[in-house]
Chains A and B, each alone.
Chain A
């Protein structure tokens, strides 16, 4: 192949070359921008996840301590039949101590969850506001693992100094 190109042929070559260059530049630029956006997004996500992991890792000792504390302190359910009675006795004892009148106590069947086994009692109560606060404050403490699973308190419409309440009190034992 030889021979000089005419001006028209040269112009056409320049035009085709320019278009080809623009197309290639567009394709490369598009690929670059999309890849960069994707990688930037990945980086942001990864960095966030890593920061979260590092934060958790920094708190690792705290969670280890808490886990150890739970394993040490959470009571184990040795006697399923007696656990409900034992809890009800405790509730009665504290109610008596705080001058809280208990009514209709019911012991529920133990409920098994992956992280605990709940032994619950349901009670109705009537007392003054201060007695109620004292009773509630004393019945729950970290090492007791007692949870008020359901609480419904109402002021007595006839005597606003008195409170009615229905409580479901449970002790969460370590799972078997």
Chain B
């Protein structure tokens, strides 16, 4: 039975469409999320990475190091800054740096409507993701800690410029083109904008996606530091953030239950089929056993017929050759078993297959006793012995008649 995998698959946006990342398999590319959803392997949890355009990131410095307090502060901050109510968003945050009394955090916000629209193809095939994250956060996890790095990569026909601080994405901007010239023209403005938002803009490294090699020259010329390439599909980390809307939890739980039931049903079906197969194997074994015996029986049949013919001949000739069938032997057994001298045999009759003894006994009990003795006699076991009830005679004796039949 194939074990159902619990290692999730990850759907990420690639340079033009979507890419399915599955452990141990090469990335599979799809033009749309619908196509990717239709190709998802069965009974495997799904994680979804959202493109940058779906996410609103904000780097915040907050006066606390307690995670719960930070969460409350971020909620207040979002309430103030976002143009839509908190009920219509799904959010999460990561701690970038912690000082004694303050923390630098990055919050990620996605509108529920955007998530719903984005996940519609997955919902259609009843494969809602268990985890929703920004793709940029997956890419940031591969960076060295305590360093600030610039990432540039194409994403669904756009160019993403992202700043990673201490392995956390703290700032992203999207250029609505993948043309290198557009990047070259936008970079000064973007860096200025980042600085103005308080995001560190002094980079220890600049990385460009290997799927867009033309970015290398532009970035090298602009930053005057070595640039290195990276693969979007490789070394994806798993950020500790999940933007799955709380209202989806019941759907997910239902989906999980359905998956569990499906798994149980498949297991049950396999066991059922196994039992059926075993039952038929057992029948086959019985049949083979019966056939084997039949073959042996048929093989021995000629011997059987020969032996039976000899046995039958012997039985036919038994009155001539078997002393236990001789008249004198029968008379001897009849006399030997007389319980008392008072019993007299008055008539003895012998035919081919039966004999008859008529006699008189002093009492009916003695007559019955005599019959019992004859029945118990081993030498007469070839005969089926029977007797009529004794008849009382005028002299108060009992007359008995005993039959012996082959």
Chain A interface (Cβ within 8 Å of chain B)? 4, 28, 32, 35-36, 39-40, 42-43, 46-47, 49-50, 53-54, 56-57, 59-60, 63-64, 66-67, 70, 74, 113, 115-116, 133, 136-137, 140, 142, 144-155, 160, 172
- The listed residue (B276, B289, B317, B322) touching A172 by CB distance below 8 A is B317
Q: A43-B289, A115-B313 are in contact. Are A28 and B348 (CB under 8 A)?
A: no
Interface size on B, residues (CB 8 A): 45
Is A50 in contact with B321, judged by CB distance below 8 angstroms? no
Residues of B contacting A: mostly: helix
Is B297 in contact with A46, judged by CB distance below 8 angstroms? yes
A16 to chain B, nearest CB (A): 15
Q: Which of B126, B279, B310, B350: most chain A CB closer than 10 A? A: B310
Is B347 in contact with A153, judged by CB distance below 8 angstroms? yes
Is B286 in contact with A63, judged by CB distance below 8 angstroms? no
Residues of A contacting B: mostly: helix
A47 vs B286: C-alpha distance in the bound complex, in angstroms? Answer: 12
- Give the chain B neighbours of A144 by CB distance below 8 A: 320
Closest 3 CB pairs of A and B: A151-B350, A136-B328, A63-B310
- The listed residue (A35, A56, A145) touching B304 by CB distance below 8 A is A56
Chain B interface (Cβ within 8 Å of chain A)? 126, 276, 279-280, 282-283, 286-287, 289-290, 293-294, 296-297, 300-301, 303-304, 307-308, 310-311, 313-314, 316-317, 319-323, 326-328, 331-332, 344-352
Is A46 in contact with B294, judged by CB distance below 8 angstroms? yes
A165 to chain B, nearest CB (A): 9
Is B290 in contact with A151, judged by CB distance below 8 angstroms? no
- Give the chain B neighbours of A28 by CB distance below 8 A: 276, 279
Is B320 in contact with A145, judged by CB distance below 8 angstroms? yes
Is B349 in contact with A151, judged by CB distance below 8 angstroms? yes
B371 to chain A, nearest CB (A): 19
- Give the chain A neighbours of B307 by CB distance below 8 A: 56-57, 59-60, 63
- Give the chain A neighbours of B308 by CB distance below 8 A: 56
- Give the chain B neighbours of A160 by CB distance below 8 A: 344
- The listed residue (A35, A64, A152, A155) touching B283 by CB distance below 8 A is A35
Is A32 in contact with B279, judged by CB distance below 8 angstroms? yes
- The listed residue (A56, A113, A148, A155) touching B350 by CB distance below 8 A is A148
